[in-house]
Amino acid sequence: DIVMTQSPDSLVVSLGERATINCKSSQSILYSSNNKNYLTWYQQKPGQPPKLLIYWASTRQSGVPDRFSGSGSGTEFTLTISSLQAEDVAVYYCLQFYSTPHTFGQGTKLEIK
């Protein structure tokens, strides 16, 4: 199974500042035939189901604010929130869907300073 490791486990950032969350896969999740990275990012607020933010590592889901961006390729990926808003307090997860079983990172809890 592919192991997904997120860092840090928790993050405290001031309003308006940049937040960066990393995700590393134990093997490449770049599919050579279509040059796509099989990685998604989710946001989960307390008591709610996860919400899809980013797929193919860098494609923003419709309706997601443009302060959220994804980058990376191969085995190392990053979710960046360019200017943190109060409503961004949540736990963030990466997921690889390159192979089954699909696997999530352990989550990163984002809080406001």
Partner 1 sequence: EVQLLESGGGLIQPGGSLRLSCAASGFTFSNFAMTWVRQAPGKGLEWVSAIRGSGDATFYAGSVQGRFTVSRDNSNDTLFLQMNSLRAEDTAVYYCAKVGTSGTTFPASWGQGTLVTVSS
Half-sphere exposure of residue 43, counting CA atoms within 13 Å on the CB side?
19
Residue 95 in the binding site for partner 1 (CB under 8 A): yes
Dist CA 46 CA 58 (whole Å) = 25
Q: Show the tokens assigned to 37.
A: 């990275």
Under rule CB under 8 A, residue 100 binds partner 1: yes
- Among 52, 64, 89, 112, indicate the residue that binds partner 1 (CB under 8 A): 52
Rounded Cα distance, 106 and 39, in Å: 14
CB-based contacts of 61, cutoff 8 Å, min separation 6: 52, 53, 54, 55
The residues pairing with 60 across neighbouring beta strands, listed in sequence order, are 54
How many residues sit in the footprint of partner 1 (CB under 8 A)? 23
The position carrying tokens 């443009």 is 66
Q: How far is the CB of 42 from partner 1 (least distance, A)?
A: 8
Residue 73 binding partner 1, by CB under 8 A: no
* 35 lies in the binding site for partner 1 (CB under 8 A): no
State the minimum distance, in angstroms, from the CB of residue 64 to partner 1: 12
Based on the shown chain and the rule CB under 8 A, indicate whether residue 51 belongs to the binding site for partner 1.
yes
Per CB under 8 A, residues contacting partner 1 are 1, 38, 40, 42, 44, 49-52, 55, 61, 91, 93, 95, 97, 100-107
